[in-house]
A and B are shown apart, each in its own frame.
Chain A
Amino acid sequence: DAKTTQPPSMDCAEGRAANLPCNHSTISGNEYVYWYRQIHSQGPQYIIHGLKNNETNEMASLIITEDRKSSTLILPHATLRDTAVYYCIVLKTPLGTGNQFYFGTGTSLTVIP
C-alpha cells in the first residue's frame, strides 16, 4: 500500500477552516484515500474517504488532486473539539481480504481559541 507524508503539526484559529495536506505520490489506481482522527484516550474516528472525486460529508471535505498524488482534508469551521491527531491512509480493500490500516504519525492539529 502507498505510503503517505503529512506535516507533524499544525495550528488553526477557532472558527477558521483547517486544511490538512497529505502526499501520496506512489498511490495506485485502485487505492482509496481515508482520513481518520484520534483524540487523546479515544479510538480512531472515521472522517471521510474517496477514490478520485472530491467528497463532502457532515464532518469534512476531501479534495483529491487530479493526478491523485496528494489530497487535502478540510474542516470548514474548526472548533476546539477538533484538536486531535489526523491520519491520512491509502489502501485498497478488495472483497474477501483483510483491510489492515497502518497509521503513521499523522498531523497533530491544535485549534486555538
Chain B
Amino acid sequence: GAGVSQSPSNKVTEKGKDVELRCDPISGHTALYWYRQRLGQGLEFLIYFQGNSAPDKSGLPSDRFSAERTGESVSTLTIQRTQQEDSAVYLCASSDRDRSNQPQHFGDGTRLSIL
C-alpha cells in the first residue's frame, strides 16, 4: 500500500520567507511525527500528533515553528521567517498507535535550503 508521502521533496527559499511542508501519513495511522535531520547527523524530534492533538511539542526549536494536523490525516509543518540554520531535511513518520510498540514508517523527507 501507499507509504508516507511528503511534499515538496525539495524547497529552496530566501532567508526571512515562510515555508509550509506537507505530510500525508499512511491511511489509518493515528500517530504522526515530525523530525529534522541536519547533514550527516541523526534525527532530531520536533513534534508528535495523536489524532489531531499534539501532546508533545517539546522538540520545536522556536516559536517560528508550528504544526497542525486535520482530519486525523494530513499534517503541515510551518516555519516562519526562515533562517539559514533551518536548512535540513524534514522527515515525517506515522504509526498505528492503537497498538503498542508499532514501528514508525518514514517518508523521504523535504530537503529545505535557506539561501
Contacts and interface: CB of A to CB of B under 8 A. Distances in A.
B interface bracket (residues with beta carbon within 8 Å of A): 20 to 34
Interface in B40-60: 42-43, 45, 48, 50, 55-56, 59
Contact of B101 (A93, A101, A104): A93
Contacts of A103: 42-43
A96 B103 contact: no
A99 B106 contact: no
Given A42-B108, A43-B108, A101 B48 contact: no
Contacts of B43: 44, 101-103
B67 interface: no
Contacts of A97: 55-56
Interface in A67-105: 92-105
A interface bracket (residues with beta carbon within 8 Å of B): 20 to 34
B87 interface: no
Interface in B93-113: 93, 95, 97-98, 100-109
A104 B44 CA distance: 10
B104 A99 contact: yes
Contact of A43 (B42, B48, B91): B91
B45 A100 contact: yes
A99 B42 contact: no
A43 B109 contact: yes
Ordered nearest first, which 5 A-B pairs have the shortest CB separation? A43-B106, A98-B48, A103-B42, A98-B56, A100-B45
Interface of A: 32, 34, 41-46, 49, 51, 92-105
